[in-house]
Amino acid sequence: MAWTWFHRLASPPHVYRTAGRLAPWFAWPAAILIIAGLIGGLWLAPPDYQQGDAYRIMYVHAPSAWLSLMVYTLMAVAGGIGLIWRMKVAHAVAAAAAPIGASFTFATLVTGSLWGKPMWGTYWQWDPRLTSELLLFFLYLGYMGLRAAFEDLQRADRVSAVLAVVGVVNVPIIHYSVVWWNSLHQGPSVMYLGKPTMPPSMLVPLLIMFLGFTLFFAAVLLMRLRGEVLNRERTARWVTEEISA
Amino acid sequence: MTGISEATLKGESVHLWRGERHVLRGVGFTVSSGECLQLTGPNGAGKTSLLRTVCGMSYPEAGRICWRGQDIRDDLPAFHTEMAYLGHEPPLKMELTGRENLHYWVGVRRRYARAQLDGALERVGGQRWADRPVRTLSAGQKRRVALAGLLLMAVPLWLLDEPTTNLDVEGQRLVGTLIDEHLAAGGLAMAAVHHPLAVSERGLRRLELGVV
Amino acid sequence: MSDVNVLHATLPGAGLEHSSAPSALAVARLMLERDLRLAFRKSSQLVQPLAFFAMVTTLFPLAITPELSRLRHIASGVLWAAALLASLLALEFLFRDDAQDGTLEQYALSGRALTGLLSAKTAAHWLLTGLPLALMAPLAGVALGVPTGALPGILASVTLGTVTMSLLGAVGAALTLGVRRAGALLSLLTLPLAIPVLIFGAHATQLAIRGEPYGASLTLLAALAVFGMTLAPLAAAAAVRINLE
């Protein structure tokens, strides 16, 4: 039954089992790092002389923002690989990653607006970073909407891969045009990230959180990939054997 | 004619999946110049899928299609200039006349003299209604316009999906004659049919597809 | 009978087929001519986006204020939002008819570069929807209290902007070719990608209304159009092939 999967490495049972074996190796370090980062960021790091304690939401906001972009890029790369080498596992990776990326983007928007309340006195400002993030969220919604619009999974995979590649080419253009737009209107931008001199007691927990979030993403991706592979191969014999075993 | 006589279309253990359906399971065939491969089989046996795979639109999961000894994937555009595909529906615009349709459809592929267009229309018995909008033509007349396009393309390989649909007895005989002439000139044809084609037995080969 | 023999004399192998292949330019002209002729035979589709544009423009004075002095301030935004929405309206039909009657299939199997054929179709689409919108935008501008000195700027910016919109729309229409009732999805896919056009276009219009030089924004709009011309046909062709598969 394995006609659809050429490459032995990318064969579904292999991917399914490897992903299952690898997931804990990402999940546990992620949990430890995130707890450590939170302790470091929320208790050990000193309050900011300007923002007080409000800046601490950065420890969730910034890693989410990084992942929102990273996951979109990953989706495009996986989609491109799937298109060029007709490797279906790559499409499964993209399909598994999209909702996670959308969630990180949503988290970035929510934490950004919570941060905005003490900083700007309002939950929403048309700050360039938040605006770009909002547009990225629409790109994710479009991607998932396009995927869902096709009944034929293979077509959904390939069409949405083209969209992801188009999107990733456009993300920088959208971002810089938004930054440019913002500079015209002198909008507020008081986010902490651009600040060059961050004391190590603030910076180290942030870096730990970046790493922790990335590992967390990898763990969730592997688990979702297992589900994705199972669903795609639900008629295959190995799946029946795997489940009855 | 010597150049054409070597043309061969070959399918080698072609496997095609459509979603969860394994539509083509190791289909193989060979058609050479002067031969017509008649594809038969019940609905859902994969006749259309096979034709679409042969013309390079669908990508087989395994196996390959070879034209003149070369995998068609190596140079798809070159292969396409040597073949013509007619699907279920004639690819015509309702708002344009038969003649305009042929002009735009075939004109993308090749230059031809006006006399050739007239000749092709005459051959399918369409010179009387070729200047009417296709909207006003009967289904059989539309099919005849499509056949004229097929002639006008002047390619060695014909891939036909139910070419006799909507045609009267005379029209069905016309399709048979056109294919016979095409084969006699060294051409090749592959046709999915429900009813046997009215072609001479000499170049006829048969491939029966079963339902999965 | 003799005609058939004439036809078969041009079979490949007789060595004539290369000399009888029309040039890329001739094919593009043929495609353009065909699409224009088709459009004028069912001209109601031509008028609809224009009427929609006029209607949306009319909503704003009714919703906000009839005072031209105040409308002038929001005129650039109104014009651009209306132009983007109007050009979206016509997109769904860009490839749909050709896909349904099998014409697109014939293009994909013609041995000609699909990118070139789709570029020609997109050009025809722009001539039929983008250009009329651009010609109508100055009129709408007058109705919104824009000084006559700003009208050339509006004409130029909407002309360039609609080029990019047609190109982006070609990608969106190609992606959603296999989707029934794709209207809302098509907007969700295309609008985020159109944000840079909106930003630069509205800015150019704003500057023109204020009587300031707007050349820089026009250059950016032109850059977007050129960028789109090089990449959009590739993405559209890939998406069309996938949807035909």
Range name among A41-50, C53-62, C224-233 with the lowest pLDDT average: A41-50
Question: Does residue A84 sit within a domain?
Answer: yes
pLDDT at C81: 94
Structure-block tokens of residue B23:
């539509």
DSSP code at position A240: H
Q: List, in sequence order, every residue forming a beta bridge with B32; answer none if it has no partner.
A: B8
CB contact under 8 A, A142 and C182: no
Q: What is the pLDDT along chain A (245 residues), one digit of tens a residue?
A: 444 545 566 788 889 999 999 999 999 999 999 999 999 999 998 888 777 888 899 899 999 999 999 999 999 999 999 999 888 899 999 999 999 999 999 999 999 999 888 888 888 888 888 999 999 999 999 999 999 999 889 899 999 999 999 999 999 999 999 988 888 775 544 455 555 567 888 889 999 999 999 999 999 999 999 999 999 888 888 888 888 87
DSSP, residue by residue, B109-136: T----HHHHHHHHHHTT-TTTTTSBGGG
CB contact under 8 A, B59 and A153: no
Quick check: B136 pLDDT over 80? Answer: yes
Quick check: C193 pLDDT over 80? Answer: yes
CB contact under 8 A, C175 and A141: no
DSSP code at position A7: -
Between residues A8 and B15, which one has the greater pLDDT? Answer: B15
Q: What is the mean pLDDT of chain B?
A: 91
Q: What is the pLDDT of residues A70-121, one digit of tens each?
A: 999 999 999 999 999 888 899 999 999 999 999 999 999 999 999 888 888 8
The whole-angstrom separation of Cα C49 and Cα C86 is 5
Nearest Cα residue in chain C from B178: C4
Answer yes or no: are the C-beta atoms of B80 and C111 closer than 8 Å: yes
Collect all residues of chain C within an 8 Å Cβ-Cβ radius of residue B105.
103, 106
CB contact under 8 A, B61 and A4: yes
The whole-angstrom separation of Cα C58 and Cα C61 is 6
The whole-angstrom separation of Cα C99 and Cα C101 is 6
Question: Does residue A150 sit within a domain?
Answer: yes
Q: List, in sequence order, every residue forming a beta bridge with A52; answer none if it has no partner.
A: A48
Structure-block tokens of residue A4:
């659809």
Q: Which of B58, B91, B118 sits opposite C103 (nearest CB)?
A: B91
> Hey, of A146, A151, A152, A175, which one would you mutate to test binding to chain C, going by the most C CBs within 10 A of its CB?
A146
Collect all residues of chain A within an 8 Å Cβ-Cβ radius of residue B17.
3-4, 154
Question: Does residue C218 sit within a domain?
Answer: yes
Residues whose CB falls within 8 Å of the CB of residue B43, separated by 6 or more in sequence, listed in order: none
CA distance A70 to chain C (A): 18
C-alpha distances in Å from residue B194, one per residue of A53, B84, B88, B164, B191: 77, 20, 12, 9, 10
Q: What is the pLDDT of residues C104-150, one digit of tens each?
A: 999 999 999 999 999 999 999 999 999 999 999 999 999 999 999 99
CA distance B19 to chain A (A): 6
B112: closest CA among C2, C22, C111? C22
- Element (H or E) spanning A165, and its range? helix A153-185
Structure-block tokens of residue C205:
């219009």
Tell whether the torsion through CA atoms of B61, B67, B68 and B70 is positive or negative.
negative
Answer yes or no: are the C-beta atoms of C191 and C172 closer than 8 Å: no
Residue A35 CB neighbour total at 10 angstroms: 12
C176: closest CA among A166, B44, A49? A166
Collect all residues of chain C within an 8 Å Cβ-Cβ radius of residue B135.
none
The whole-angstrom separation of Cα B153 and Cα B83 is 9
CATH 3.40.50.300 maps onto chain B at 1-82+156-212
DSSP, residue by residue, chain C: -HHHHHHHHTSTTSS-TTTTSPPHHHHHHHHHHHHHHHHHHTTHHHHHHHHHHHHHHHHHHHHT-S-HHHHHHHHHHHHHHHHHHHHHHTGGGTTHHHHHTTHHHHHHTSSS-HHHHHHHHHHHHIIIIIHHHHHHHHHHHHHTT--GGGHHHHHHHHHHHHHHHHHHHHHHHHHTTT-SS-HHHHHHHHHHHTHHHHHHHHHHHHHHHHT---HHHHHHHHHHHHHHHHHHHHHHHHHHHHHH-
> Hey, of C76, C88, C195, which one would you mutate to test binding to chain A, going by the most A CBs within 10 A of its CB?
C195
Answer yes or no: are the C-beta atoms of A127 and A182 closer than 8 Å: yes
CA distance A176 to chain C (A): 9
pLDDT at C93: 80
Nearest Cα residue in chain C from A173: C196
Q: List, in sequence order, every residue forming a beta bridge with B16; answer none if it has no partner.
A: B24
Structure-block tokens of residue B180:
């016979």
Q: List, in sequence order, every residue forming a beta bridge with B191; answer none if it has no partner.
A: B38, B160
Amino acid at A68: S
CB contact under 8 A, A177 and C195: yes
Residue C67 CB neighbour total at 10 angstroms: 10
Collect all residues of chain C within an 8 Å Cβ-Cβ radius of residue A166.
171, 193, 231, 235
CA-based radius of gyration for chain B: 17
The whole-angstrom separation of Cα A172 and Cα B192 is 50
Q: State the residue for tokens 């050990």.
A: A44
- The ipTM estimated for the assembled molecules is 0.92
Is the domain spanning B1-82+156-212 CATH 3.40.50.410? The answer is no
On whether any CB of chain B is under 8 Å from the CB of C106, the answer is: yes
Domain count across chain C: 1
CA angle C161, C166, C171 (to 5 degrees): 130
Collect all residues of chain A within an 8 Å Cβ-Cβ radius of residue C242.
155, 158-159, 162
Nearest Cα residue in chain A from B20: A235
Q: What is the pLDDT of residues B39-84, one digit of tens each?
A: 999 988 899 999 999 999 999 989 999 999 999 999 999 999 999 9
Q: How far is CA A217 from the centre of its chain?
A: 7
Structure-block tokens of residue A158:
């390939």
- Element (H or E) spanning A242, and its range? helix A237-244
The SS3 of residue A9 is coil
- Window 42-61 of B, Cβ < 8 Å to A: 59, 61
The half-sphere exposure of B37 on its side-chain side, counting CA atoms within 13 A, is 23
A209: closest CA among A89, A88, A62? A62
B32: closest CA among B10, B65, B54, B56? B10
Collect all residues of chain C within an 8 Å Cβ-Cβ radius of residue A165.
235
Question: Does residue C15 sit within a domain?
Answer: no
Question: Can you give the length of chain C in residues?
Answer: 245
Answer yes or no: are the C-beta atoms of B197 and B167 closer than 8 Å: no
Q: Residues C22, C24, C27, C29: what is their CA dihedral angle, to the nearest 10 degrees?
A: -120
Question: Does residue A36 sit within a domain?
Answer: yes
The SS3 of residue A139 is helix
Q: Label residue A10 exposed, middle or buried (CB < 10 Å: 0-12, 13-18, 19+).
A: middle
DSSP, residue by residue, chain B: -HHHHT-EEEEEEEEEEETTEEEEEEEEEEEETT-EEEEE--TTSSHHHHHHHHTTSS--SEEEEEETTEEGGGGHHHHHTTEEEE-SS----TTSBHHHHHHHHHHTT----HHHHHHHHHHTT-TTTTTSBGGGS-HHHHHHHHHHHHHHH--SEEEEESTTTT--HHHHHHHHHHHHHHHHTT-EEEEE-SS-----STTEEEEEPPP-
Question: Does residue C6 sit within a domain?
Answer: no
A225: closest CA among A5, A21, A6, A8? A21
Quick check: B212 pLDDT over 80? Answer: no
Question: Does residue C11 sit within a domain?
Answer: no
Residues whose CB falls within 8 Å of the CB of residue B123, separated by 6 or more in sequence, listed in order: B148, B151, B178, C3, C4
Residue A89, domain extent:
26-44+52-244
The whole-angstrom separation of Cα C89 and Cα B176 is 46
Collect all residues of chain B within an 8 Å Cβ-Cβ radius of residue A153.
19
Domain count across chain A: 1
Answer yes or no: are the C-beta atoms of B168 and B143 closer than 8 Å: no
CB contact under 8 A, A86 and B59: yes
On whether any CB of chain A is under 8 Å from the CB of B15, the answer is: yes
